Amino acid sequence: MAAVTSKKGPRLMQEFRGVYIEGEFVCTGRKLPCFDPSSGAAWAEVETGGADQVDAAVQSARSAQKQHWGPLAAWQRATVLRKFADILVANRDEIATVESRNNGKAVRDTREEVTRGAEWLRFFAGAASTAYGNTFQLEGGTQANVYREPLGVIGAITPWSSPVYIYMWKLAPALACGNAVVIKPSEIAPITCGLIAKYASEAGLPAGVLNVVTGDATAGAALAAHRGIDKLTFTGGVASGRAVAQLAAGNFTPTTIEAGGKTALIVLDDADLDLALGIAVRGSFRSAGQSCAHISRILVQRSIYAEFIKKFLPAVRELRVGPALDEQTDVGPVISEASAVRCEGLVKSGRSSGGNVLLGGQRAKVSEALGGYYFAPTVLDGVPANSRVMQEEIFGPIAAIMPFDDDDAAIETANNVDFGLVGALVTRSLSRYRRFVRDLDVGVICVNAFRPGHWQLPYGGRKRSGMGIDNGYDVLRDYTQSKTVMLGAI
């Protein structure tokens, strides 16, 4: 295990190794406390690194990629990745428990994310064999070959909201294509990254191919600015994404940025209402709304608006708010006190802009003995389209619902935000479906279903949601580079 237990004051604390370089956990003497959002108490400490550890990790990755991982055939790398996936699933309960305690997400959800995350490894294990080049016959008998080669060292900066899930989004294609990786996980929920590295080693990943440097923004900045990084991939907030992109640009490092969203669910008057309600409840309140794909805006055609609200509110009331490790919990805590305060501020802003709180709107008390950062699932209506609630990324269990009169109005409202990551639509009309798919300015559209992230499909946004994509066959080109060779007579 990467964790040991020691006595720290009045409670038992777990200590986790958070710096993993060249197949070994490194002691730096610097530790970061980790808080359990379900109780608000510190429950663990994790070893952290800085610029020196980032540099050592990049050097380790460069050597391992050139000597041990890049030269392997795609099928050889695939064998390791498939075993890696099997080990993750076998240890799913341990990983999910640590993840839920670290970031407050309901354990049923984190368990599912480990299982699904393993599918990223399995898919890209096979997909990497399709990253082939081309041959051309040119004038004068010259033959040209275009090869696809690994980039080298990938720097990955990941968020706290779904750590294991996003690790796999970054690791699977990068490793499958023959690259080595240095990960800087969020300092808010960093612990599972060390576990993942340990299991990768057990699967046979050569030492140095996967390195972890847990740390604060200083470590992230050092990774983004490092001249030894051949590609940077980032998932997080807009401000952080802009900062790391600027640092990477100094070295002309190719960068993928996924920086948030403002999903609108559009329910047309011909929709299957029960289907729409299920999508709205899950999309708005799973993970306590702490997701880039969070449905924070529900646009319902006016003729069915009253009926939708009549059914939606009781369905939301049935959601059980509770500790992350409780199997009955539907909505866990938000990540921190600051997040709970932000949720309160957004509700207050919604009221002051003329909106009504139909449900929730305040902190939820789970029990007298338990602290934590619980916020009640909240539904607002009457909030203007230009208000903070309708324009800003929420990252909390808050959804604003509003009516629209026709398709033009729905599209205009949905597009009238700075983000363009995910959109959702419920309709039975093929012609209306075609219109919305054409005109919604987002990178991913879910129609009559809602699971926006899939290993086979590109995932990326427009506008302030970032640049580039994760997932799908297309991403293989982002983790490889072309080499053109022109051969004349020999």
Catalogue the active-site residues.
Answer: 184, 258, 292, 393
Residue 28 token pair: 């730096």
Give yes or no for a contact between 290 and 396, defined as CB atoms under 8 angstroms apart.
yes
At residue 210's C-alpha, the angle toward residues 466 and 2, to 5°, is 110
Local structure of residue 205 (DSSP, 8 states)? P
- Mind giving me the DSSP string for 342-362? HHHHHHHHHHHTT-EEEE--S
Q: State the distance between the two ends of the chain, measured CA to CA, in whole angstroms.
A: 57
Whose structure tokens read 């003329």?
A: 354
The helix (run of H) or strand (run of E) holding residue 87 is helix 74-90
**Closest of 192, 202, 152 to residue 175, by C-alpha:** 152
Q: How many CB atoms lie within 10 A of CB 408?
A: 11
Beta strands in 435-489 (DSSP E): 444-447, 462-463, 466-467, 480-487
144/132 Cα distance (integer angstroms): 14
Q: How far lies 131's CA from each of 171, 254, 414, 453, in Å?
A: 16, 19, 37, 22
- Mind giving me the DSSP string for 4-65? EEEEETTEEEEEE--EEETTEE---S-EEEEE-TTT--EEEEEE---HHHHHHHHHHHHHHI
* Angle between the N-to-C axes of helices 107-127 and 92-103, in degrees from 0 to 180, rounded to the nearest 10: 120
255/234 Cα distance (integer angstroms): 8
- Mind giving me the DSSP string for 247-264? HHHTTT--EEEE----EE
Burial of residue 309 (CB within 10 Å: 0-12, 13-18, 19+) is middle
**Closest of 426, 381, 427, 432 to residue 403, by C-alpha:** 381
213: left (phi over 0), alpha (psi -120 to 50) or beta: beta
